[in-house]
Amino acid sequence: MANARRSAAFIVARWIATKDFPSSMLPQDRDRAFVQDLVYTTIRRIRPLRKILGLLMKQWPKGELEALLYVGAAQILYMPDVPDFAAVSETVDAAKGCENPSIAKVVNGVLRNVIRRREEFEKMVADATLEERESFPTALVRRWERRFGAENAARLCAWHNTPAETFIARRDGSFVKLERGQRVEDVPGYADGDFIVQDPGTRLAIELLDPRPDERILDACAAPGGKTVQIAWRGASVVACEVNPKRRRRLEENLARLKLGVEVIPELPASQTFDKVLVDAPCSNTGVLRRRPDARWNWNGEKLAALVKLQSEILDACASRVAPGGVLVYSTCSNEPEENEAQVAAFLARHPDFSLEESRESIPFESETDGAFAARLRRTPA
């Protein structure tokens, strides 16, 4: 599987250089499951991997060499199903395809040293601080410790370092967990649009929205379309808005596979009002870090503040689209209070014609689903 290691190294190298979404770079071939596992494991564990490799290299490697060392060490230290000999030989074979012929020799020597000093490195990592051991930004772990306590912060880190299961949601509202490695496209009913890929954590927003057949509903931040589909399946007339052209195309493709005639628009309608509006807002993704391992490395206080500002702007824009007496449901896949309870409180202070009816939050170490938040807000009748 040398080509699989080379594909993984290419994705890791590109991610380091560009911060592009790793999920968008995965191959669509028989090696996809292994490549995804290797890439995601590497990105999840990159903090201790960097420390370990730094002890073995006199000068920090760049480009292909850096990526190959990361994926090789990740297999040895964090993927017990991969034998050491395969981790070394296959990664070295992948390195032989590099333009610089000396890279393979360096990869071989460094990875053999990782194996030789494994016990030393494993003890070093085990004795490290929580954020170093579990590989998270220090500031993010500190805020989790303040909110949940040290023990639960450790449980949350462990949850997000566990490879995510794949769930499908069916028209009857049920969720089914797929066997690990099973291709979604091979599940009976895929081509007929009988299901969507969606974690049970997403049900919070749909349950609070409670779509009914006689209602007209706006999904204001619709891509990739999972919640749009759930609304349509319940018989409501739904309009899906997505301003990002690339994400809008993905939304339209998903709706086409599911054979749903949903109206898709590129911007909020100027003067229309709806019985209900769903704002599934862009967020920091801290509830879904096991699915988005790269998102932890995008997190910082400045980006959080920018997201909070964007969320408030979207909410303000959508408030006028809710008919008098109607409902606005705000949701995120974050577990950060600034994006959730505090965001709702600030909205209500700006919009006294709305009131909070109910809010729910899924904390992964409690719910054993993705983290999520949803709040149901009612506009005062005319």
Beta carbons of 157 and 44 less than 8 angstroms apart: no
> The domain that contains 239 carries what CATH number?
3.40.50.150
Domain boundary among 128, 154, 188: 128
Residue 40 has pLDDT above 70, yes or no: yes
Domain boundary among 109, 128, 147: 128
Q: What is the pLDDT of residue 30?
A: 86
Cα–Cα dist 142/34, whole Å:
33
Q: Is residue 275 part of a domain?
A: yes
Q: Is residue 172 part of a domain?
A: no
Residues 236 and 342 reside in one and the same domain: yes
| Segment among 30-34, 125-129, 232-236, 242-246 with least mean pLDDT | 30-34
Residues 120 and 13 reside in one and the same domain: yes
Residues 242 and 119 reside in one and the same domain: no
Q: Is residue 177 part of a domain?
A: no
Residues 107 and 228 reside in one and the same domain: no
Residue 2 has pLDDT above 80, yes or no: no
Per-residue pLDDT, averaged over 288-310, amounts to 97
> The domain that contains 63 carries what CATH number?
1.10.940.10
Q: What is the pLDDT of residue 103?
A: 96
Per-residue pLDDT, averaged over 26-52, amounts to 95
Tally the domains of the chain.
2
Q: Give the C-alpha distances (Å, rounded to integers) separating 28 from 62, 185, 298, 355.
A: 27, 11, 26, 47
Catalytic machinery residues: 333
Residues 118 and 219 reside in one and the same domain: no
Give the model confidence (pLDDT) of 97-140 as tens digits.
998 989 999 999 999 999 999 999 999 999 999 999 999 999 99
Q: Is residue 301 part of a domain?
A: yes
Q: Print the domain residue range for 323.
A: 199-379
When the pLDDT of each residue in the chain is averaged and rounded to a whole number, the result is 96
Per-residue pLDDT, averaged over 5-12, amounts to 96
Residues 205 and 292 reside in one and the same domain: yes
Q: Is residue 181 part of a domain?
A: no
Q: Is residue 143 part of a domain?
A: no
Domain boundary among 128, 149, 176: 128
**Strand order, beta sheet including 354-362:** 263-265, 237-241, 216-219, 274-280, 322-332, 372-379, 354-362
Residues 235 and 371 reside in one and the same domain: yes
Residues 205 and 337 reside in one and the same domain: yes
Q: Is residue 191 part of a domain?
A: no
Residues 117 and 216 reside in one and the same domain: no
Residues 82 and 205 reside in one and the same domain: no
Q: What is the pLDDT of residue 214?
A: 92
Q: What is the pLDDT of residue 191?
A: 86
Residues 364 and 266 reside in one and the same domain: yes
pTM: 0.94
Give the model confidence (pLDDT) of 53-75 as tens digits.
999 999 999 999 999 999 999 99
Residues 233 and 353 reside in one and the same domain: yes
Q: What is the pLDDT of residue 271?
A: 86
Residue 1 has pLDDT above 70, yes or no: no
Q: In the chain, what percentage of residues exceed pLDDT 90?
A: 91
Q: Is residue 157 part of a domain?
A: no
